[in-house]
Amino acid sequence: MLSTVRTTVTLDADTEQMIRRRMRRDKTSFKQALNDAIREGCATPSDKPFRTPTASMGRPRVNLDRALQVAAELEDDELTLRIQAGS
């Protein structure tokens, strides 16, 4: 048998409205709606693994093995332009 703990909970206005909508939808008490919402929110994650969708971005325009070198060259070009502009 589950034990019951009596406590005071202060809800933000938006979360109270969520619980009240759940009460109307499920035709249940405030207590039951709040307990159900907490159970759903704290439930263990599903067995379905999380997957991030991927998409092909085409072939790279630069050799990614040289990415740091390319970045350094671009930075050098930017610094050269700044020096020439007198900044």
Tens digit of each residue's pLDDT (9 = 90 or more) over 53-66: 999 989 888 777 88
The reply to whether the predicted model has a pTM over 0.85 is no
**Per residue in 38-52, is it b (16+ CB within 10 Å) or e — as a string?**
eeeeeeeeeeeeeee
Sign (positive/negative) of CA torsion 5, 8, 12, 18? positive
d(CA 65, CA 84): 31
**Greatest alpha-carbon span in the chain:** 80
Tens digit of each residue's pLDDT (9 = 90 or more) over 19-55: 999 999 999 999 999 999 999 888 777 677 888 999 9
